[in-house]
Amino acid sequence: MHGTQGPSAGMNHVGLTVGDIDKAIRWYQDTFGLILLVGPLHCDTATAGAARRNEVFGSQWAGMKLAHMLTDNGCGLELFEFVIPKGEPPGNNFQYWKYGASHIAFTVDDFDRTLEMITSTGGRARTQVHDVHGGIFICYCEDPWGNIIEIVSKPYEQLSAATAL
């Protein structure tokens, strides 16, 4: 099902910057069951794709580690650990009033267990658990590197219908 205007599109991937790519790979595998497809790879100004990455990240970019992961519904998660310049945590990591991405959300099959995994392995819950409507639960969290993650107990179509009530 898609809108009446333009071509159909599916979510391909989301990119997140982390402070330790090896720990992040393990964290996303253990917490959400993601599959590591490729990486971690070392990329710098002398490796394949350097010109493209320089265009994307700007002239200050000189090196990073990169990994590609996959959710069980086929959406990719691209992890970046910037080496040059060195990545750093944001001061205020949830500036929702500014344009751009504010969070990513995962539909999870065991909501309570996932929340416990997040909070016991370096992440944190930013909000209480909320019952949006009739047993559809959400909680805004952070991964250990401060990326905003929402966990949801039901698929997006059910969540969006419930929030309209």
CATH of the domain at 111: 3.10.180.10
DSSP state of 162: H
User: Of 88, 116, 137, which residue constitutes the final position of a domain?
Assistant: 88
What pLDDT was estimated at residue 99?
81
Query: What is the pTM (predicted TM-score) of this model?
Result: 0.89
Residue 89 contacts residue 145 (beta carbons within 8 Å)? yes
Interatomic CA distance for residues 86 and 63, integer angstroms = 9
Q: Please tell me whether residues 45 and 109 are part of one structural domain.
A: no
Report pLDDT for 133. Answer: 83
The total of other beta-carbon atoms located within 10 Å of residue 119's CB is: 14
Answer for the pair 39, 67: CB distance below 8 angstroms, yes or no. yes
Q: What is the pLDDT of residues 79-129, one digit of tens each?
A: 999 999 999 888 877 888 788 888 999 999 999 999 999 999 999 999 999
Q: What is the pLDDT of residues 132-156, one digit of tens each?
A: 988 999 999 999 999 999 999 999 9
Number of structural domains found in the chain: 2
Segment 30-38 shows an average pLDDT of 97
- Tell me: do 77 and 133 sit in the same domain: no
Which domain, by its residues, includes 130? 102-165
The residue among 37, 63, 88 that closes a domain is 88
Look at residue 7 in the predicted model and tell me its pLDDT.
84
